[in-house]
Amino acid sequence: MDPRPARSNGGPPSWLVRVVAVAAGSLLLAGCGGGGGGGEGSGGSGAEGYPDREIAFIVPFAAGGPTDTVTRLVAEPMSAKLGQQIVVRNVEGAGGTVAAGEVANADGDGYTVLMHHIGMSTAPALYPNLAYKPLEDFKTVGLVTTVPMTIVARKDFEPNTLQELVTYVKANADKVSYANAGIGAASQLCGLLIEKEMGVDLTEVPYDGTGPALTDLVGGQVDFMCDQTTNTTGQIKADKVKAYAVTTPERVEALPDLPTTAEAGLEGVEIGVWHGVYVPAETPDDVVAKITDALAAALTDQAVVAKLAELGAPPAPAADVTPEAHRQKLQEQIDLWAPIIKESGVTAGG
Ligand code: MLT
């Protein structure tokens, strides 16, 4: 389990919530534009014969959760394209930073690959002693998808609408439990927006991933959470959870009856969870290019596209499935979140 967030007194002013909302909204709306940014240009050649053995694809959260789902979806066609087995491995802990630290220190030979999400850009601000630097210790391979989030609750939780949830949480803030996947997780960021928008301080229950968190939500052990559609769509459709809203400016095709947070009266809670693939910084560029090609092939695979659509998560456009576009996105997002997080007072400690 991860440490609870340490908070400064109170929370950020309401302008901050707006900034976060606008910034997070841009995650969904803005493409990376392709090109620009550029990598470190360390070049190097190592692609001859690559890959000639199995590749480890590291997931920074628990099995069965949204990051795991996206990784396993693309891993199969990537494996077919590369002609080698890809073994997905879950390295949980500290909101995804344990896995990222492991990959940052792995051999830069293309046999250790990381899937990570928006948390790659927020961790430097959240973790004062972070053991890696996202822009220096990794090469970006390409963007994968941007996933909407949903606010969901245990089936027998009293509030039936988002407005009722706001009223209930305000009246029972000390009793209501909010599940997340630790500091740096998308579910924690979304919770931050919810707290600020509602003006409450929730009791957070951190897990190693929202896979196990959602299991506990369905089992009634926690009250509510904000999680990616790649994890919640099935449970919402099966009527196993109560769903209040989706955190996108527009409704999501996979869940057409679910109002947006703005429609439901909580417009400050708008966020999309972008994902990208990384390798250690020393990985030769021609090896990175082979992994990028495999990722691009996976994201146009009809079965992958159909499954992502079913889960409310569109594949990244081809122009964004490049190291350059991904690096630019990462840089922009680090710059975007650093002041927001600093202002929020949330930190994983010294
Ligand atoms: C997961 O895979 O468990 C999630 O991405 C965790 C999160 O970021 O909320």
Beta bridge partner(s), residue 55 = 86
Q: Which of 67, 69, 214 to mutate to test the pocket of ligand 1 (most atoms within 8 A of CB)?
A: 67
DSSP output for 18-64: HHHHHHHHHHHH----SS-S----------TT--SS-EEEEESS-TT
Output phi, psi for 267, to 5 deg: -65, -15
Q: How far is the CA of 52 from the centre of ligand 1 (A)?
A: 31
Angle (CA) 17-19-20 rounded to 5° is 65
Q: How far is the CA of 61 from the centre of ligand 1 (A)?
A: 6
User: Dihedral sign, CA of 326, 328, 332, 338?
Assistant: positive
Query: In the numeric block, which tokens belong to residue 195?
Result: 């707290």
Q: How far is the CA of 43 from the centre of ligand 1 (A)?
A: 33
Residues 231, 69 contacting (CB under 8 angstroms): yes
Please give all residues whose beta carbon lies within 6 A of any atom in ligand 1, as ranges: 61-62, 65-68, 117, 119, 181, 185-187, 209-211
| Helical (H) or strand (E) element with 70 | helix 66-82
Peptide bond between residue 51 and the one before it cis (omega within 30 degrees of 0): yes
Atom of ligand 1 nearest to the CA of 211: 3
Q: Report the SS3 class of residue 138.
A: strand
Query: In the numeric block, which tokens belong to residue 183?
Result: 């500091």
Q: How far is the CA of 48 from the centre of ligand 1 (A)?
A: 35
Residues 24, 196 contacting (CB under 8 angstroms): no
Atom of ligand 1 nearest to the CA of 59: 2
Closest CA to 304 of 66, 74, 64: 74
Q: How far is the CA of 119 from the centre of ligand 1 (A)?
A: 9
What local confidence, expressed as pLDDT, does residue 29 receive? 25
Beta bridge partner(s), residue 273 = 147
Atom of ligand 1 nearest to the CA of 180: 9
**Cα–Cα distance measured from residue 272 to residue 288, given in angstroms and rounded to the nearest whole number:** 26
Beta bridge partner(s), residue 204 = 178
Query: In the numeric block, which tokens belong to residue 188?
Result: 């924690």
* Nearest residue (CA) to ligand 1, atom 3: 209
Residues 235, 28 contacting (CB under 8 angstroms): no
Q: How far is the CA of 68 from the centre of ligand 1 (A)?
A: 8
**Cα–Cα distance measured from residue 112 to residue 109, given in angstroms and rounded to the nearest whole number:** 7
**Cα–Cα distance measured from residue 116 to residue 99, given in angstroms and rounded to the nearest whole number:** 9
DSSP output for 266-305: -TT---EEEEEEEEETTS-HHHHHHHHHHHHHHHH-HHHH
Q: What is the pLDDT along the chain (350 residues), one digit of tens a residue?
A: 333 332 222 223 232 333 233 233 322 222 222 332 333 445 656 778 999 999 999 999 999 999 999 999 999 999 999 999 999 999 999 999 999 999 999 999 999 999 999 999 999 999 999 999 999 999 999 999 999 999 999 999 999 999 999 999 999 988 999 999 999 999 999 998 898 899 898 899 999 999 999 999 999 999 999 999 999 999 999 999 999 999 999 999 999 999 999 999 998 899 999 999 999 999 999 999 999 999 999 999 999 999 999 999 999 999 999 999 999 999 999 999 898 888 888 888 64
* Nearest residue (CA) to ligand 1, atom 2: 67
Q: Which of 72, 117, 247 to mutate to test the pocket of ligand 1 (most atoms within 8 A of CB)?
A: 117
**Cα–Cα distance measured from residue 132 to residue 66, given in angstroms and rounded to the nearest whole number:** 24
Q: How far is the CA of 336 from the centre of ligand 1 (A)?
A: 20
* Nearest residue (CA) to ligand 1, atom 5: 67
Atom of ligand 1 nearest to the CA of 207: 3
CA end-to-end span of the chain: 17
Q: In whole angstroms, how large is the CA radius of gyration of the chain?
A: 19
Q: How far is the CA of 97 from the centre of ligand 1 (A)?
A: 12
Atom of ligand 1 nearest to the CA of 186: 8
Q: How far is the CA of 181 from the centre of ligand 1 (A)?
A: 6
Q: Given 3-state DSSP classes, what are the helix, strand and coil percentages for the chain, each rounded to the nearest 5?
A: 40, 20, 40
